[in-house]
Amino acid sequence: MKQAFSIKTEETLSHQIIPLVNQNILQVIYDKDCRIIACSDLSAQSVGLNSWRETIGASYSDTDNLEYMKIIFGCRYNDIFYEKIRTCAKKVYSIHKMVLDNNYIINYIDYMPYNEMFVPYLITCVPITYNGNQTIGIQSFAKKCNYLNMLSQTQIIKSMFNIELDPDCSKNKLENPIMLTKREHEIIFLLANGLTTDEIFELLGTSRSTISNIIASRLSPKFGLFGSSAKLLSKIARKKGYHKLIPESLSVPCVIVLDEQLSDEIH
């Protein structure tokens, strides 16, 4: 009976796999052991792999597989981020286990540097059931998101300070970027995401006068603004795309469960 059930579950999962691989969306299917059995090629490419076949058997429980972790995270898997990435990966594994064990649908934000790039993904994990009651796997859907518009800005940003990164790592780029210092980049990013000067000086741990001076004497001229108007500067910076260009000094791996009732249960 056990073998027959296993065959049936594999057949059920195969129906999920067949239409998946060539779809232009980020999807992954995990088995009951939380290991990948299929995904779209787009999902594989988003983590720096060439084909979905290279992902088969992978799991977020494999944090001790240093070779594979370095393939997925590249130069970001260094002394600075090593423990944070491991902690995040274990949290995702806990999410997968909760989906399987409790038949939950769980939404979370995954902000790990896959393929050496910090990109926030909104992930939805849905249980795959057999005969309507036995959970036999997980289907995961992902899409890029702007987490600053979805979550408490203070909650996210406070966990992202004082991180120095390897300068050889690749980063997001804008067309004709304006030359900015590290502090200027932090301020313009936060302004472009709607934070006030009061919120910025509290988050950056500096004085209100320092923030105001940087905005008036340095950032406003660089963005072609005569006079000091944080509100107008925010609009200009957002139009130019600076709300998407997260400073490396504010980036740190994190996984955030969006359901408050579940967030305390998942570690």
Reported as a single tens digit per residue, the pLDDT across 20-69 is 678 889 999 999 999 999 999 999 999 999 999 999 999 999 999 999 99
CB proximity list for 106: less than 8 A, separation 6 or greater: 95, 98, 99, 124, 125, 257, 259, 262
Helical packing angle, 82-102 and 66-73, nearest 10°: 100
Distance of CA 34 to the CA centre of its chain: 19
Q: Which of 153-157, 174-178, 211-215 reaches the highest mean pLDDT?
A: 211-215
Predicted confidence at residue 11, as pLDDT, reads 57
Would you state the torsion angle of the CA atoms of residues 162, 257, 169, 149, taken in this order, to the nearest 10 degrees?
-80
Predicted confidence at residue 151, as pLDDT, reads 46
Q: Which residues of the chain are in CATH 1.10.10.10 domains?
A: 173-245
Angle at 44 between CA 91 and CA 160, to 5 degrees: 40
d(CA 177, CA 185): 11
Q: What is the CATH number of domain 2-148+252-263?
A: 3.30.450.20
pTM of the model: 0.71
Q: What is the CATH number of domain 173-245?
A: 1.10.10.10
- Banded pLDDT at 96 (limits 50, 70, 90): very high
- What are φ and ψ of residue 168, in 5° steps? -80, -10
Average pLDDT, the chain: 82
Residue 203: is its pLDDT beyond 90?
A: no
Residue 1: is its pLDDT beyond 80?
A: no
140 or 12: which carries more pLDDT confidence? 140
Reported as a single tens digit per residue, the pLDDT across 108-160 is 999 999 998 888 899 999 999 887 778 889 999 999 886 555 444 444 554 44
- Banded pLDDT at 9 (limits 50, 70, 90): low
Q: Can you say whether residue 252 is alpha, beta or left, with left for phi > 0 and alpha for psi between -120 and 50 degrees?
A: beta
CB proximity list for 87: less than 8 A, separation 6 or greater: 253
Q: Which residues of the chain are in CATH 3.30.450.20 domains?
A: 2-148+252-263
